[in-house]
Homo-oligomer: A and B are copies of this chain.
């Protein structure tokens, strides 16, 4: 799906939920969609400055917070970076394959993985509310 139509989908999703998909939010989301991999907040800030000349760290973090809250993007804990989600709306477990050579980030949804984790946790009496699964390695192109 093209970036443009993905952005439109995001706009409709936000407005349907009563949230404003402002120019900043649209711009940042589009920037992230434009990448194969994840982008750090300050790299994002540098890019953003090209069009939004008065962008500051707080600008980026506030915008990222919004996008995170509405599930339009995810945060990679192992690299302090952010990546666009292409299928927001459907609540889904978040699992990533991260290539340490080319930076590619592949978001997967393995129900099996999710189930295995939740079952393991239950066997310890533990109730899972949010999981972080990030596998680092090499993508097929980089091996």
In the complex, what residues of B have CB within 8 A of residue A34's CB?
A: none
Chain B residues within an 8 Å CB radius of A133: 117, 131-133
Question: Given known contacts A77-B77, A78-B77, A131-B134, is B126 in contact with A140 (CB within 8 Å)?
Answer: yes
Please, which residues of chain B bring their CB within 8 A of the CB of A137?
A: 121, 126-130
Give A103 Cβ to nearest chain B Cβ, in Å. 13
Contact of A113 among B120, B125, B132 (CB under 8 A): B120
Is A56 close to B, CB under 8 A?
no
CB distance from A124 to the nearest CB of B (A): 6
Residues of A87-143 whose CB lies within 8 A of B: 95, 97, 99-100, 106, 108, 110, 112-113, 116-117, 120-121, 124-140, 143
Q: Cα distance A99–B127 when bound, in Å?
A: 9
Is A113 in contact with B117, judged by CB distance below 8 angstroms? yes
Q: How near does chain B come to A11, taking the closest CB pair, in angstroms?
A: 30
The answer to whether A125 and B140 have CB atoms under 8 Å apart is: yes
A143 to B121, CA, bound (A): 13
Q: Are B127 and A136 in contact (CB under 8 A)?
A: no
